[in-house]
Structure 1
Amino acid sequence: MTRPLTFLALAAFMLGGCSLIPHYDRPAAPVAAQFPQGPAYAPAQEAAAQAAAEQGWRQVFHDPALQAVIHTALDNNRDLRVAALNVEAYRAQYRIQRADLFPAVTAGGTAERTRTPADLSTTGKTAVGGEYTATLGVSAYELDLWGRVRSLSKEALQTYLASDEGRRSTQISLVASVANAWFTLESDKELLKLTQDTLQAYEQSYKLTAHSGEVGVSTALDVSQARISVETAKVSLAKYQRAVAQDMDNLVLLLGTHLPDNLPAAQPLAAGLVAEVPAGLPSDLLQRRPDILEAEHTLKAANANIGAARAAFFPSITLTASAGSESADMGHLFKGGQGTWTFAPSINLPIFNAGSLKASLDYAKIEKDVDVASYEKAIQTGFQEVADGLAARQTYKQQLQAQTDLVQANQDYYRLAERRYRTGIDSNLTFLDAQRSLFSAQQSAITDRLSQLTAEVNLYKALGGGWKE
């Protein structure tokens, strides 16, 4: 047993062979040091920026009803479940590949009894014999002299880590999608309620106009125009009823199940539902976006694959060895003098392969260059998404304030036009125009609030969501 044990010790020592993986340097980010919107980033803002970067979704979305909906989606969404299972699959593949770094030790035993007839026996008599063996050994273990196996193991590890970042990216996208779907549903509910109230007002106005027409105060044209307003509002009512139903279907699909029971009442759409990211964030926060980290892990996997392709040019040594005992008598199997061993090293030296190895190395290098470009593109895309989000946040505040003022002005105009029409000073046309203007301004106010909230959600997603979640 001494020689096989010596072999195993030698094999363990050879695990520390050289590596042909190129030195990895993270590519420089092809974007500006800070985003174009907001004040310049100063070191004193680092703590605030770090705190913003590490917020979880519960700290970002303040509506308890939305929090319950997001929690339900994280538990039941099928896309997220598939992403998590893919991570486990890649983890298992990494463990399989890593196991090749170590010898696979197996134990075995055989027992054989044979009876030889007298006419076939060398002694002329019937003979009964047996053979028993017990072995412990390794088979086809590659000495990793040039780091090929370790390179493949590192490639599998980086692929596994990339899949985990992909899962996190899927989770952040899911949280953002659920939040946007929730705000869209609540916005369409508000638009539906506004349309119902407006239709009720139009119908009341139509009745008054029709009654005035019966007594000769209003003309047939006035009555016809009032009816047009009613029918137009009915069209909008059907549209928003359909939108609310479809919004609910979309939300249920994202959740992967029905809405939670005893859901708290949703808060009205207004500022403060989504935490505001502080201005002046440095662009290097993008390095923490899961999709960018996923691209970098993919790049590292390609870098490790180059090491494996390089190692293929060198000889590979494979060892097979076993040790045990053998005896014709079961009772003597483990007695002294019955020991056996085998040691069968083999070497494979590539001599001619028509350029296959060189082509494989070239392909690995090109694959790395492609992954570098993909990594840089991911950073540029992230930078643009954050910059767009910051620009939207600044302008939507101004737009919402202006729209609020516009709604107030239209309300004043509507009250004045109604009073003048009822007293016979102005025509019905002026009053109907005031009605339509007020309805349109109120619709736009709700739509703008939704757009502002969607921009905040998209900014949360663009910054990589909550890294601690």
Structure 2
Amino acid sequence: MMENLKIKNSIAAIAVLLLLGSCKAPSVAPSTAPAQVPATFGNNVTDTINTAKTPWKSFFKDPYLSDLIATALQNNQELKITLQEIEIAKNDIRIRKGALLPTVGVRAGAGVEKVGRYTSQGAGDASADITPGKEVPEALQNYELALHANWEVDIWKKLRNSKKAAVDRYLATVEGKNFVLTNLVAEVADSYYELLSLDNQLEVVKQTIELQQNALEIVKVQKQAARATELAVQKFQAEVLSSQNREFEIRQQITATENQINFLLGRYPQEIKRQKNDFLTLQPAAINSGIPSQLLDNRPDIKQAELELAAAKLDVKAARAEFYPSLDISASYGLQAFKPSYLFTLPESILYSLAGDIAAPLINRNAIKAEFNNANARQLQALYNYERTVLNAYLEVSTQLSNISNLEKSYALRTRQVEALNNSIDISNDLFKSARVDYFEVLMTQRDALENKLELIETKKAQLNALVHIYCALGGGWK
């Protein structure tokens, strides 16, 4: 009686020691709240009307561009890859959810065992005292057909926190998909406007070549009349060849841009249908930036970073729970016998068991500590990534708003500059015909006019691209 009492006291002492030792878990690293964004984008605008709320089909008025975007959203391979990441995250939720439930399986087995006579099991074999024919065989067979169940009781919410973290990561992948949508829409629009600008650059170069060839013919006539030299003829000829070379460079850029669009659309090379109107007549739409706090709701990358931070916090809680005791319950129920003919002899062949185990880490917890420290570090990484994402979003909007304003002023000045140079071409040609200016001034005037026309087209393209980028930066394009 005293020995049983001592054994019970020893078991109780060991259990208390396990509980006390395992409950000493490290503290969670503090995670400060992310800094608040400024009240405005520096333009003193407090109106909450936001262009990001506009669906892309309504934002882009060009029907050709809308068709290209719709095709890209259906066929783009990167988007399809992202959709599979969502499926992976969804399956991870099922895995975490399954860990909360008991696992039940069926087992059928057969075996044979013969123990040594001079063992604790063999020495206690009393089969010699059993009636002949009823003794247990020396080579003991075993046949079993049973259900087995095991369940880890989620005392410290370790498994539930892991499941919640998986749900947050699934939602984060959905937001990641939305961010891919936003960037895809922006890439298609950027490439489309690049293509329109190259078309117009090609037309300008063709017009310039025609103008230069006319001037070349005039110089040749003047040379025959001894009013110009061979040097002037060669200079004009070189200028024509330079412009013709530029024409082929632009044609190659057009092909490359068309292929880039086709790549985004997930298809092999084909002609890109587009507007043939004057590119310079396109007017950028008005932008309503709203207030910076709306970025937290509109930008998918910010919501993705926020969800990843929430998942990282839950991971820390789950890792901390590893320091606490775990309770496992196991059970089995079925049939067992040493002869097949006895297997279905009821109730003698019935097998059942029920056991509960409490286990806790006590010594050498370095692996658990390392995993907990890693979870803590990943939580801080997620926090800093969230803060960086918010800061980057604010700066992107601020930069594009300034860019739109400056490009508008620049385009107005370049338009006036091109008008002045167009007039100077006519004036220089008239003066050259009357021998009041030399050929060098005509060449320089034509060259300046060409360069400025191309720069004007580039400025218009930059205006339209800035419109796309501010729409993307505000969080539009994925709805």
TM class by smaller structure: 0.7 to 0.9
Alpha-carbon separation, structure 1, partners of 2:238 and 2:345: 104
Name the structure 2 match of 1:454.
Answer: 465
Equivalent residue of 1:392, what SS? helix
- Pairing 1:154-193 to 2, within 5 Å after superposition: 154-193=164-203
Q: RMSD over aligned Cα, in angstroms?
A: 3.3
Question: Does the 8 A contact of 2:106 with 2:148 survive in 1?
Answer: yes
Aligned with residue 252 of structure 2, among 242, 254, 268 = 242
Alpha-carbon separation, structure 2, partners of 1:229 and 1:60: 43
Alpha-carbon separation, structure 1, partners of 2:345 and 2:455: 91
Aligned with residue 226 of structure 1, among 219, 236, 243 = 236
Alpha-carbon separation, structure 1, partners of 2:468 and 2:272: 25
Q: What amino acid is the match of 1:74?
A: L
User: How far off its partner does 1:205 sit?
Assistant: 1.5
Aligned with residue 439 of structure 1, among 440, 447, 450 = 450
Aligned with residue 158 of structure 2, among 139, 143, 148 = 148
Q: What amino acid is the match of 1:394?
A: S
Question: Does the 8 A contact of 1:107 with 1:135 survive in 2?
Answer: yes
Q: What amino acid is the match of 2:448?
A: S
Aligned with residue 415 of structure 1, among 426, 437, 453 = 426
User: How far off its partner does 1:449 sit?
Assistant: 0.6
User: How far off its partner does 1:306 sit?
Assistant: 1.0
Aligned with residue 382 of structure 2, among 355, 371, 374 = 371
Q: What amino acid is the match of 1:446?
A: I
What is the number of equivalent residue pairs in this alignment? 430
Name the structure 2 match of 1:297.
Answer: 307
Aligned with residue 350 of structure 1, among 324, 344, 361 = 361
Aligned with residue 40 of structure 1, among 36, 42, 45 = 45
Name the structure 2 match of 1:283.
Answer: 292
Alpha-carbon separation, structure 1, partners of 2:240 and 2:395: 45
Equivalent residue of 2:413, what SS? helix
Name the structure 1 match of 2:33.
Answer: 27
Alpha-carbon separation, structure 1, partners of 2:453 and 2:294: 38
Q: Is it true that 1:206 corresponds to 2:216 in the alignment?
A: yes
Name the structure 2 match of 1:101.
Answer: 100
User: How far off its partner does 1:108 sit?
Assistant: 6.0
Q: What amino acid is the match of 1:35?
A: F
Question: Does the 8 A contact of 1:60 with 1:274 survive in 2?
Answer: no
Equivalent residue of 1:65, what SS? helix
Which stretch of structure 1 is more off in the superposition, 442-451 or 247-256?
Answer: 247-256
Alpha-carbon separation, structure 2, partners of 1:105 and 1:301: 29
* TM-score normalised by length of structure 1: 0.82
Q: What amino acid is the match of 2:152?
A: E
Alpha-carbon separation, structure 2, partners of 1:268 and 1:26: 54
- What are the ranges of 5 or more consecutive residues in structure 1 without an aligned counterpart? 1-19, 113-120, 125-129
Alpha-carbon displacement from aligned partner over 1:6-49 (angstroms, at most 9, x marks no partner): xxxxxxxxxxxxxx998999933353221123x331xxx32x22
* TM-score normalised by length of structure 2: 0.80
Question: Does the 8 A contact of 2:335 with 2:343 survive in 1?
Answer: no
Alpha-carbon separation, structure 2, partners of 1:295 and 1:175: 21
Alpha-carbon separation, structure 1, partners of 2:39 and 2:309: 22
User: How far off its partner does 1:341 sit?
Assistant: 2.7
Q: What amino acid is the match of 1:405?
A: R
Which stretch of structure 1 is more off in the superposition, 235-244 or 445-454?
Answer: 235-244
Question: Does the 8 A contact of 1:323 with 1:339 survive in 2?
Answer: yes
Alpha-carbon separation, structure 2, partners of 1:268 and 1:156: 52
Alpha-carbon separation, structure 2, partners of 1:149 and 1:325: 33
Q: Is it true that 1:399 corresponds to 2:410 in the alignment?
A: yes
Alpha-carbon displacement from aligned partner over 1:411-432 (angstroms, at most 9, x marks no partner): 1121222222223333333322
Question: Does the 8 A contact of 1:62 with 1:272 survive in 2?
Answer: no
Name the structure 2 match of 1:75.
Answer: 74
Change (3 A) 1:103 1:358: same
Change (3 A) 1:73 1:105: same
Alpha-carbon separation, structure 1, partners of 2:29 and 2:277: 53
Alpha-carbon separation, structure 2, partners of 1:220 and 1:329: 115
Q: Is it true that 1:315 corresponds to 2:306 in the alignment?
A: no
Alpha-carbon displacement from aligned partner over 1:233-265 (angstroms, at most 9, x marks no partner): 122112212211221222222221046789464
Question: Does the 8 A contact of 2:316 with 2:372 survive in 1?
Answer: yes
Equivalent residue of 2:355, what SS? strand
Question: Does the 8 A contact of 1:109 with 1:133 survive in 2?
Answer: yes
Alpha-carbon separation, structure 1, partners of 2:281 and 2:315: 50
State the structure with more CA Rg.
Answer: 2
Name the structure 2 match of 1:89.
Answer: 88
Alpha-carbon separation, structure 2, partners of 1:348 and 1:211: 104
User: How far off its partner does 1:159 sit?
Assistant: 1.8
Which stretch of structure 1 is more off in the superposition, 24-33 or 328-337?
Answer: 328-337
Alpha-carbon displacement from aligned partner over 1:317-366 (angstroms, at most 9, x marks no partner): 11112335679999996988976532122221111124443343333222
Alpha-carbon separation, structure 2, partners of 1:111 and 1:266: 81
Question: Does the 8 A contact of 2:29 with 2:376 survive in 1?
Answer: no
Equivalent residue of 2:279, what SS? coil
Alpha-carbon displacement from aligned partner over 1:150-199 (angstroms, at most 9, x marks no partner): 11112222222222222221121111111111111221121112111211
Which stretch of structure 1 is more off in the superposition, 190-199 or 421-430?
Answer: 421-430
Change (3 A) 1:273 1:168: farther
Alpha-carbon displacement from aligned partner over 1:416-464 (angstroms, at most 9, x marks no partner): 2222222333333332222122211211110101111111111122122
Question: Does the 8 A contact of 1:176 with 1:457 survive in 2?
Answer: yes
Q: Is it true that 1:196 corresponds to 2:206 in the alignment?
A: yes
Alpha-carbon separation, structure 1, partners of 2:42 and 2:86: 36
Alpha-carbon displacement from aligned partner over 1:281-319 (angstroms, at most 9, x marks no partner): 211122131111111111111100111111111110111
Question: Does the 8 A contact of 1:206 with 1:227 survive in 2?
Answer: yes
Change (3 A) 1:215 1:122: farther
Name the structure 1 match of 2:61.
Answer: 62
Question: Does the 8 A contact of 1:34 with 1:283 survive in 2?
Answer: yes
Using the aligned pairs only, state the percent identity: 25
Alpha-carbon separation, structure 2, partners of 1:261 and 1:203: 31
